[in-house]
């Protein structure tokens, strides 16, 4: 398995976020494999938060000479809002709203990835609906409400080129381990479609390869 270099690893692990190190490494390796299969095609990340997982993916983009499109409205997912389990007051701005964009930009500057990571600030469903560029990899780690997860799948899965990778975070088969939206609304429909097969599993990260255009 290919590994992120120590400098970028330190930055990634110091960044606010929810990507365990082993899963970040698996995502890094999956992105390299996607670039091996589809050289020259860009990568996309749906849900960037403060840029923790973006460092792993951005490092691949920089090494392989492609772009990474980081899609996020930066207003925080449902589970990040006040009163919810994953709320962090440190990302609330002076207007009382979550705003992770300054944190994301600081992470990209620190990592030296601003030339290859392109911000797409806005609603992921709307951006995906207008997207036209085939992707070597699409990593979905956006909002975990059922409607949001379902919408991310429908907006983005078709943009993964045949041979490319659809990676999904926070996939839990057992409800006791975590929320079911990524499992039920992204992972299972992708496999049931016949367009994707599972090729990797690390923690809650599932890596699927697109095998059919139909």
* pLDDT band with cut points at 50, 70 and 90 for residue 181: very high
Whether residue 180 contacts residue 172, with contact meaning beta carbons closer than 8 Å, is answered with yes
pLDDT at 79: 60
* pLDDT band with cut points at 50, 70 and 90 for residue 78: low
44-66 mean pLDDT: 97
Whole-prediction pTM value?
0.92
**pLDDT per residue as tens digits for the range 196-214:** 999 999 999 999 999 999 8
* pLDDT band with cut points at 50, 70 and 90 for residue 11: very high
Q: Can you count the helices (H) and strands (E) in the chain?
A: 8, 7
pLDDT at 84: 46
Q: Which residues are catalytic?
A: 144
- The residue among 179 and 96 whose pLDDT is bigger is 179
pLDDT at 80: 54
Query: Residue-wise over 69-87: b if at least 16 C-beta within 10 A, else e?
Result: bbbbbbebbeebeeeeeee
pLDDT at 176: 83
CATH architecture of 6-210: 3-Layer(aba) Sandwich (3.40)
Whether residue 145 contacts residue 135, with contact meaning beta carbons closer than 8 Å, is answered with no
Alpha carbons within 13 A on the beta-carbon side of 175: 2
């Amino acid at each position: 398995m290919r590994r992120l270099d120590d400098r970028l690893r330190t930055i990634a692990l110091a960044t606010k976020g929810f990507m365990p190190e082993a899963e970040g490494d698996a995502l890094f390796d999956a992105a390299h494999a996607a670039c091996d299969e589809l050289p020259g095609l860009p990568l996309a990340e749906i849900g960037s938060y403060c840029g923790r997982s973006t460092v792993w993916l951005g490092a691949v983009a920089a090494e392989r000479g492609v772009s990474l499109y980081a899609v996020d409205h930066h207003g925080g997912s449902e589970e990040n809002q006040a009163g919810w389990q994953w709320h962090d007051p440190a990302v609330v701005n002076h207007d009382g709203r979550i705003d992770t964009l300054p944190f994301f930009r600081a992470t990209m500057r620190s990592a030296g990835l601003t030339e290859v990571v392109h911000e797409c600030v806005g609603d992921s469903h709307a951006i995906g609906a207008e997207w036209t560029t085939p992707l070597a990899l699409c990593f979905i780690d956006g909002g975990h409400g059922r409607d949001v997860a379902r919408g991310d799948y429908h907006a983005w899965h078709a943009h993964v080129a045949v041979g490319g990778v659809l990676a999904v975070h926070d996939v839990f088969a057992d409800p006791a381990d975590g929320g079911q939206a990524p499992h039920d609304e992204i992972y299972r429909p992708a496999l049931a479609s016949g367009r994707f097969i599972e090729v990797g599993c690390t923690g809650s990260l599932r890596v699927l390869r697109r095998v059919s255009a139909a």
